[in-house]
Amino acid sequence: MPKISVKGNSMPESPIRKLVPFAEAAIKKGRKIYQLNIGQPDIKTPTVALDAVRNHNIEVLSYSHSAGFEGYRNKLAKYYKNHDIPVNGEQIIITTGGSEALLFAMGSIADTGDEIIIPEPFYANYNGFATASGIKIVPVESKIETNFALPPIADFEKLITAKTKAILICNPGNPTGYLYTKEEIDQLADMVIKHDIFLVADEVYREFAYDGAKHYSVMSIDKLKDHAIMIDSVSKRYSMCGARIGCLVSKNKEVINTAMKFAQARLSPPTFEQIASEAALDTPQSYFDDVIKEYTSRRNLLIAGLESIDGVKVAIPKGAFYCIAELPIKNADNFAKWLLEEYQLDNETVMVAPAAGFYSTPNTGLNQVRIAYVLKKENLERAIEILKNALTVYKD
């Protein structure tokens, strides 16, 4: 029988999606599941984006430019300039989701066996993208005790070798919700310039910053023009996860020229989704004001609820819509499966994402879970009640 590749066998499962079969079985039993495991917002997609697709009279659904529609890229550049990110349309490549932008970035800056340093816990699919690209992730630990703030620069520098090609951050962070300060971004900037490596910033949650905090983009730092690569996406900003439109942005011409070769190999990003994404740029600020208000309220409710549960430790997020909670259990994988297979409270249960899958270091985060506060407040309240009850009866 033909064999599967080593790379294929090495591809990690998604800690977010691997529990889906257990959830499907629970639903067949008639259970209601409060899904705290996945970052799928319930906020409505802006009408202007949906109307652009409904009202478009396309007769031939043709390819776009490999870099995406020029009009969309130029309009996107104007959006960025309004957020203190001075770029032009030629420095933007539209991609099939932020995921493809990350793959293009890794393929453009690193060879097989090269290394990228990432503060952990980090977005779990970075592991998959790195495996697909033949790259080794080198983790540097951030801690729940400091809300997962940037680890000391000395911790990064002792990991840098001749094989190190980049530092990768998610800002604000998935799964932690941490929002890096200006001082932390400046420290990273100085370090990557010193060691002549790249700083790749996944900034898909840019709008989601709370308590008056401001997002600080790597693209706003002039001295990083040859070192910075930004990853972005419409998925969370406009509640358009299914559109699969993102982009890679860099002022480094070699990076853009190289990434374009990857873009040409996959021909072009999808047409209707680009039409919707370009129209979404006309979304009024009031939409974001309402969204931030809603997520701040949900965050406050969730954190207060988790802090009220004996033995639970939680990091307070300043951005995105996730938090990491440390539970009074030994193994969150077993707990998450138990919640779906065996537990119910009035025929209801919750689904969480075990956090170990967001770490690269083995046997780390085993008693932690990632919770996405993307449910309505009344559903969040009920989910917290169920989780609190579950922890009182669960036996490791």
Instruction: Please indicate, yes or no, whether residues 68 and 112 belong to a single structural domain of this protein.
Output: yes
Burial bucket for residue 173 (CB in 10 Å: 0-12, 13-18, 19+) = buried
**What are phi and psi for residue 106, nearest 5 degrees?**
-65, -40
Q: What pLDDT was estimated at residue 13?
A: 79
Q: What pLDDT was estimated at residue 112?
A: 96
Residue 129 lies in a domain: yes
For 117-146, what is each residue's pLDDT tens digit? 999 999 999 999 999 999 999 999 999 999
Instruction: Please indicate, yes or no, whether residues 250 and 329 belong to a single structural domain of this protein.
Output: no
Residue 260 lies in a domain: yes
Tokens of 4: 């599967």
- Is it true that the peptide bond before 328 is cis, omega within 30 degrees of 0? no
State the DSSP string of 205-224.
Answer: TTT-B-TT-----GGG-GGG
Q: What pLDDT was estimated at residue 178?
A: 97
Residue 56 lies in a domain: no
Instruction: Please indicate, yes or no, whether residues 144 and 292 belong to a single structural domain of this protein.
Output: no
Q: What pLDDT was estimated at residue 46?
A: 96
For 244-292, what is each residue's pLDDT tens digit? 999 999 999 999 999 999 999 999 999 999 999 999 999 999 999 999 9
Instruction: Please indicate, yes or no, whether residues 233 and 368 belong to a single structural domain of this protein.
Output: no
Q: What pLDDT was estimated at residue 269?
A: 97
Q: Which residue ranges of the chain lie beneath pLDDT 50?
A: none
Instruction: Please indicate, yes or no, whether residues 36 and 72 belong to a single structural domain of this protein.
Output: no
Residue 53 lies in a domain: no
Instruction: Please indicate, yes or no, whether residues 251 and 135 belong to a single structural domain of this protein.
Output: yes
- Cα 360 from Cα 372, distance rounded (Å): 21
Q: What pLDDT was estimated at residue 17?
A: 75
**Among residues 155, 153, 145, 198, which one has the least CA distance to residue 176?**
145
Q: How many CA atoms lie within 13 A of 274 on its CB side?
A: 25
- Counting the structural domains of the chain, the total is 2
The CATH number of residue 338's host domain is: 3.90.1150.10
Q: What pLDDT was estimated at residue 42?
A: 87
Q: Which domain holds residue 156?
A: 61-280
Instruction: Please indicate, yes or no, whether residues 237 and 377 belong to a single structural domain of this protein.
Output: no
